[in-house]
Amino acid sequence: MADDLRDTENSRSDDGRGDLDNAAAEEEIERGLGQDGDADELVEMHDDQDGSARPQDQEQELGSVHYGTQIRNPQAEEQQAFLRQNAAAQRQERAQAQEATEQQTLSQIENAEIENNLDTGADSFESSGGNDGADELSLQSEPSAVELPEVPLSTNDTNALRGDREDAGPATDDSLQPDFVPPAQEAPSAESAVVEDDLEEDDELLLDDEIDTEDEIEVEEPKVADAPSLNAGDVSGAEDSAITLDLSASLNDLDGGSETLSITISGVPDGAVLSAGTDNGDGSWTLLPGQLNGLTLTPPEDFSGSIDLDIAATSREANGDTSTVNSVFTVDVTGVADGANLAVSDASGREDSAIALDIDTELLDGSENLSITIEGVPEGAVLSAGTDNGDGTWTLDVDQLEGLTITPAENFSGNIDLSVLVSTTDGDDSAVVMENLTVEVEGVADAPTLDVSDASGNEDSAIALDIDAGLTDSSETLTVTISGVPDGATLSAGTDNGDGTWTLSSDQLNGLSITPAEDFSGSFDLGVTATSADGSDVATATDSITVDVTGVADVPTLDVSDASGNEDSAIALDIDAGLTDSSETLTVTISGVPDGATLSAGTDNGDGTWTLSSDQLDGLSITPPDDFSGSFDLGVTATSADGSDIATSTGSITVDVAGVADAPTLDVSDASGNEDSAIALDIDAG
């Protein structure tokens, strides 16, 4: 409460009781309820000193009575509704009246002494309407819009009057309507001021203390909005999360006015949202003070970095005066790696070929960084792009995934298991996604090496075959097939397939030989095929070998018997000669044939030998020389020839020729001669 009562001008009766005529009041009573529901009324007081009503444009608003919380007003809500509807018109009307009368009032205040014998020693009055008989009534001056440089002013002063009510009334009586209008001229006499109660017409407000009107009447200056308190601290939080803001604001209403507080936060990025308040659509949000408690900011999706925001706290007086305090604070948004989408597919291809890899990845947050690592690359395998880290891993960029291939190690076939890791980083945070894929490498057989040479050997002997076959891919399997093997011929190793082919492994080529069919001589060709197999795939190399078999004559068979016969007769010879190798040629030579003896077949070689074929032996006979009798030995040689090679069998035959007396020959001729002469006789006997 103020120490002096400067915002009141009133008249007093001789007995010390003031009485205000409500019927003469031409201004409404302004009343307001406090937040706790108690009546807190502001009553404008207007009255002429002579008690007569004055035109409104001549009234001067000097002050108002401010009721304390002890006086309640049941009709306040209806009055407030009325006042809200007419507030604008009332304010304009009061301003016009105040401006017209203020100068006149100032002159009167300076030149006239108010003689109402009011004692300023009392600053309150009591009302007997309360339970304890004492209710406080405060008087408060209304602010003036006119500068009064020559009059001492005291703004926002509140003077309380304490008085006694003659008859008790309810403490919530809302019909107390003290009202007065300052005099247009100097008051000729004092009048009593009476505070009437509408509930009981004879109730009076009795003043215990007198107010000294020698106190100056001061006009209240317009209320000025006080700068509010504002605190804003920098905060930080994670990307895509609600970040609690460290903000507080409150009023500093030093002049006891009815200020309001509003908050505006500006600089909010597109896509960011506050947990409370109203989005103004221009990067600013408007909030009530209570919405600062627990207020959060959710940055735009995937945003990381710093956001500088401006907060403005504005206090506003009822008369429209404002005061704004600004502060800038920073919201640091820590990046959070969101990872990436990763899709892979198994791959397949042929050995020793580039195999396409199907790897596709995409950032979930385009502001992040991405790197790709492929693990499990076998030694010797290479990727078409990226960096070989030397430990079976390769590092790539996203752009290098396009057309990416893997070439397996040389001659490799089988499966390769690869792991693809995609790492995303946002500041110091990182995230990794991984997928596995299998690369199936289909084996491709490489053509084997094959080197062969022609072979030769003797009939009925094993003939070495010079065949050299090998693999160019050691992971493959080698087989060798020899075809064209004659019937009866055999190889020293391998499997006879029964169709003139033999199958051998690479190991069986070492020391391989062929034995031609028995008694075979001549040439034959062998086909050699070397086959390398890698899974179901095969590759071959082919060549041929000519095998020359030198004939070897086999000893022929020879069976002879001695022969005998008569002189001058053909004597049969029993000679049986044959071949053991039908492919050979048989000749029989009979030697020791006496001169003059002849064979029934064969060729007389003129040297006592005769040559015959095997066929000529059948029925062969010898005719000794004429008149030969006795015996002679014949040599028989059977010769088998196989090419240039011959083989012989020999035997001998004794031919016994039995003599046969032949009738002699006698040839005589008559003879003649001389007598007594020897006459030759021509007698020939043999």
Share of residues in the chain with pLDDT > 90 (%): 41
Q: Distance (Å, rounded) from C-alpha 445 to C-alpha 443?
A: 6
Angle at 459 between CA 455 and CA 464, to 5 degrees: 30
67-76 residue pLDDT tens: 333 334 444 4
- 194-203 burial, b if ≥16 CB within 10 A, otherwise e? bbbbeebeeb
| More confident call, 255 vs 137 | 255
Number of folded domains that form the chain: 5
Same domain? 570 vs 528: no
Classify residue 647: in a domain, yes or no: yes
Q: How many CA atoms lie within 13 A of 41 on its CB side?
A: 31
Q: Distance (Å, rounded) from C-alpha 176 to C-alpha 164?
A: 14
Same domain? 76 vs 153: yes
618-631 residue pLDDT tens: 899 999 988 888 98
Q: Helix/strand/coil (H, E, C) string of 404-422?
A: CEEECCCCCCEEEEEEEEE
How high is the pLDDT of residue 256?
A: 64
List the one residue out of 593, 620, 623 whose CA is nearest residue 605: 593
Classify residue 673: in a domain, yes or no: no
Stretch 173-177: mean pLDDT: 41
483-521 residue pLDDT tens: 999 999 999 999 999 999 999 998 999 999 999 998 888
Same domain? 386 vs 511: no
The answer on pLDDT for 652 being more than 50 is yes
How high is the pLDDT of residue 235?
A: 95
Classify residue 12: in a domain, yes or no: no
User: Among 86-100, 234-248, 532-546, which stretch is predicted with the lowest mean pLDDT?
Assistant: 86-100
Look at residues 550, 568, 590 and tell me which one is the last residue of a structural domain: 550
Share of residues in the chain with pLDDT > 70 (%): 66
Same domain? 477 vs 588: no
If you average pLDDT over every residue of the chain, what do you get? 75
Q: Distance (Å, rounded) from C-alpha 388 to C-alpha 408?
A: 14
Classify residue 357: in a domain, yes or no: yes
How high is the pLDDT of residue 32?
A: 37
Long-range contacts, 310-313 (Cβ 8 Å, 24+): 310/265, 310/266, 310/267, 311/230, 311/232, 311/247, 311/249, 311/263, 311/264, 311/265, 311/266, 312/263, 312/264, 312/265, 312/266, 313/228, 313/229, 313/230, 313/249, 313/261, 313/262, 313/263
Same domain? 326 vs 459: no
Classify residue 196: in a domain, yes or no: yes
Same domain? 313 vs 398: no
**DSSP string for residues in 293-314:** TT-EEEPSTT--EEEEEEEEEE
Same domain? 32 vs 174: yes
Range of the domain at 618: 557-658
Same domain? 580 vs 522: no
Same domain? 49 vs 161: yes
Same domain? 155 vs 273: no
Stretch 538-557: mean pLDDT: 92
Look at residues 394, 411, 442 and tell me which one is the last residue of a structural domain: 442
How high is the pLDDT of residue 380?
A: 93
Q: What is the CATH number of the domain that holds 403?
A: 2.60.40.10
Same domain? 457 vs 520: yes
Look at residues 442, 464, 490 and tell me which one is the last residue of a structural domain: 442
309-347 residue pLDDT tens: 999 999 998 888 899 999 999 999 988 777 778 999 999
